């Protein structure tokens, strides 16, 4: 019996088999969960559907988190089909590439709005629709990055969005805690994914992160997945409002002074 046996959970944010959400999926499947997924548009449906079917998904529906009507429809279908929800994983972010490439001081109002809407507000929007389907003991997890609290070249407005996401995690934990719902964030080290390819010099960032980490390596999507499975399970029943690092210990150090 796995630690998620008998639980029904949504995993939002698979784009392909490199996605962090796919690492989470494999861990949750192994631990016995019944899983449901979203996809963003028909292009991604072609990739997401076969992956979801390979883990016997019982729920696969379209969802663009910037569209309130789609949000309402999506969660109404979850209720219709499953009746209740035991966990939800939010692994979604977006910013215009130019906003990450250009000087931070030139960030436009629209690029700021877009990054904050998709990468931070969407967690609140999902939580407000998921919570009514959850009973005490349920759990939500989102994905963040160290750029929320330290400057990281090329992360720019996404760092501001992650700061808002981490604060939102704490306020959701405060708000939903009396209902017995736990809300946590995982701060993952850099992993090569579609979203990561938008970040400045990602290759250099990965090198620096590996050398500056305590374990002298980068983390894998499976390691993030295993931590998510723990936070979603009753094993973490006393943990809420936390930003939990899965970064091989990078955040506790000062990096590697030997590398520029
Ligand atoms: P990814 O590209 O595989 O996943 C990002 C997902 O966001 C995609 O599935 C995309 O479809 C979805 N998305 C974007 N806009 C959306 C919208 N409007 N509606 C619905 N879905 C939308 O990349 P990833 O690296 O797996 O990213 C997952 C999460 O992990 C993100 O929050 C990212 O910031 C975070 N994260 C990534 C890293 C890393 O190095 N890869 C490190 C720390 C945190």
The string of DSSP letters for 85-106 reads -SEEEE------HHHHHS-GGG
Query: CA–CA separation, 4 vs 27, rounded Å?
Result: 10
104: pLDDT strictly greater than 90: yes
Query: CA–CA separation, 34 vs 118, rounded Å?
Result: 26
CB 35 within 8 A of CB 57: yes
Looking at 102-177, which runs of residues are DSSP E strands? 139-144
Q: Say if ligand 1 is within 6 A of residue 221 CB.
A: no
Looking at the chain, which runs of residues are DSSP E strands? 8-12, 34-39, 59-62, 87-90, 139-144, 182-188, 243-246
When pLDDT is averaged across residues 3-16 and rounded to a whole number, the result is 98
Question: Rounded to whole angstroms, what are the CA distances from 108 to 141, 197, 200?
Answer: 29, 21, 18
- How many CB atoms sit inside 10 A of residue 201's CB? 11
211: pLDDT strictly greater than 60: yes
Of the chain, the percentage scoring pLDDT greater than 70 comes to 98
Q: Say if ligand 1 is within 6 A of residue 220 CB.
A: no
What is the distance in A from the centroid of ligand 1 to the CA of 162? 12
**pTM of the entire structure?**
0.98
Give the active site residues: 145, 155
Confidence bin at 257 (pLDDT 50/70/90) = low
Q: Say if ligand 1 is within 6 A of residue 91 CB.
A: yes
Q: Say if ligand 1 is within 6 A of residue 243 CB.
A: no
When pLDDT is averaged across residues 169-188 and rounded to a whole number, the result is 99
259: pLDDT strictly greater than 60: no
Query: CA–CA separation, 169 vs 127, rounded Å?
Result: 10
Please tell me what DSSP assigns to residue 35: E
Please tell me what DSSP assigns to residue 145: -
240: pLDDT strictly greater than 70: yes
- pLDDT in the model for residue 98: 93
Q: Say if ligand 1 is within 6 A of residue 64 CB.
A: yes
Query: CA–CA separation, 132 vs 214, rounded Å?
Result: 41
Ligand 1 atom nearest 119 alpha carbon: 32
Confidence bin at 233 (pLDDT 50/70/90) = very high
pLDDT in tens, 162-173: 999 999 999 999
200: pLDDT strictly greater than 90: no
pLDDT in tens, 105-146: 999 999 999 999 999 999 999 999 999 999 999 999 999 999
Ligand 1 atom nearest 191 alpha carbon: 40
179: pLDDT strictly greater than 80: yes
What is the distance in A from the centroid of ligand 1 to the CA of 122? 12
CB 212 within 8 A of CB 150: no
Residue nearest to atom 22 of ligand 1 (CA): 92
pLDDT in tens, 49-91: 999 999 999 999 999 999 999 999 999 999 999 999 999 999 9
- pLDDT in the model for residue 26: 98
Query: CA–CA separation, 37 vs 148, rounded Å?
Result: 27
4: pLDDT strictly greater than 80: yes
Alpha helices in 7-67 (DSSP H): 20-30, 41-54
- pLDDT in the model for residue 201: 87
- pLDDT in the model for residue 255: 82
What is the distance in A from the centroid of ligand 1 to the CA of 136? 28
Q: Say if ligand 1 is within 6 A of residue 152 CB.
A: no
Cα–chain center distance at 161 = 13
State the average pLDDT for the chain: 97
Probe residue for ligand 1, chosen from 185, 193, 251 as the CB with the greatest number of ligand atoms within 8 Å? 193
Among 176, 171, 175, CA closest to 133: 176
């Amino acid at each position: 019996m796995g630690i998620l046996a008998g639980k029904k959970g949504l995993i939002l944010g698979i784009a392909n088999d490199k996605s962090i959400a796919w690492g989470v999926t494999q861990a949750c499947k192994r631990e016995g969960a019944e899983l449901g997924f979203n996809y963003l548009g028909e292009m991604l449906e072609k990739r997401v559907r076969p992956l979801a079917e390979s883990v016997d998904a019982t729920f696969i529906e379209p969802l663009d988190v910037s569209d309130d009507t789609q949000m309402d429809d999506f969660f109404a279908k979850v209720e219709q089909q499953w009746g209740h929800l035991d966990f939800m994983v939010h692994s979604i972010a977006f910013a215009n590439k130019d906003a990450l490439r250009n000087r931070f001081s030139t960030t436009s109002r629209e690029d700021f709005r877009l990054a904050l809407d998709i990468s931070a507000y969407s967690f609140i929007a999902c939580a407000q629709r998921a919570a009514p389907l959850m009973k005490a003991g349920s759990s939500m997890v989102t994905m963040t990055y160290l750029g929320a609290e330290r400057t990281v070249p090329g992360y720019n407005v996404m760092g501001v969005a992650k700061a808002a996401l981490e604060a939102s995690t704490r306020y959701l934990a405060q708000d939903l805690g009396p209902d017995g719902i736990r809300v946590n964030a995982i701060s993952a080290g850099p992993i090569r994914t579609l979203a990561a390819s938008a970040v400045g010099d990602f290759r250099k960032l990965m090198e620096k992160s590996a050398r500056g980490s305590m374990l002298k390596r980068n983390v894998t999507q499976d390691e993030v997945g295993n931590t998510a499975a723990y936070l979603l399970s009753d094993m973490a029943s006393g943990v809420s409002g936390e930003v939990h690092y899965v970064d091989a210990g990078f955040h506790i150090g000062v990096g590697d002074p030997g590398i520029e």
